[in-house]
Amino acid sequence: MPPRLLVHSKKVPMAKEKEQKQPMPPVGTWAPAVALGWLVPGGGHFLLKRNGRGALLFAAVTSMFLCGLMMQGAMFQPQSGDLLTTLINTGGFVGDVCSGILYLLSVWFGYNVPDMPGHVHDYGTKFLVTAGLLNVLAMVDAYEIASGRKD
Amino acid sequence: MPKLNLSHFEAAFLFALFSSVVMGVVTKRNDRDRLHYGLYTFACFLLALFGIGWLMYLGHG
In whole angstroms, what is the distance from residue A136 CA to residue A126 CA?
15
The predicted model gives A97-107 an average pLDDT of 97
Q: Is the pLDDT confidence value at B54 over 50?
A: yes
Interface contacts A/B by beta carbons within 8 Å: 71
Please report residues of B whose CB lies closer than 8 A to that of A53: 25
pLDDT digits (tens, 9 = 90+) for B8-39: 999 999 999 999 999 999 999 899 999 999 99
> In terms of CA atoms, which chain A residue is nearest residue B26?
A141
A67–chain B Cβ distance below 8 A for any pair: yes
Q: Is the pLDDT confidence value at A8 over 60?
A: no
Instruction: Tell me which residue in B8, B12, B21 faces A60 most closely, judged by beta carbons.
Output: B21
Neighbours of A122 (CB within 10 A): 16
Domains of chain A, residue spans: 28-146
Opening angle at CA A94, ends A92 and A98, nearest 5: 115
Please report residues of B whose CB lies closer than 8 A to that of A137: 22-23, 26
Task: Give the minimum alpha-carbon distance from A104 to chain B in angstroms, rounded to a whole number.
Answer: 16
In whole angstroms, how large is the CA radius of gyration of chain B? Answer: 15
Query: Is-contact A57 B25, C-beta < 8 A?
Result: yes
The predicted model gives A68-72 an average pLDDT of 95
Instruction: Tell me which residue in B4, B12, B19 faces A70 most closely, judged by beta carbons.
Output: B4
A75–chain B Cβ distance below 8 A for any pair: no
Task: Give the minimum alpha-carbon distance from A127 to chain B in angstroms, rounded to a whole number.
Answer: 7
Q: What is the mean pLDDT of chain A?
A: 89
Q: Do A137 and B22 touch (CB under 8 A)?
A: yes
Enter the pTM of the model.
0.87
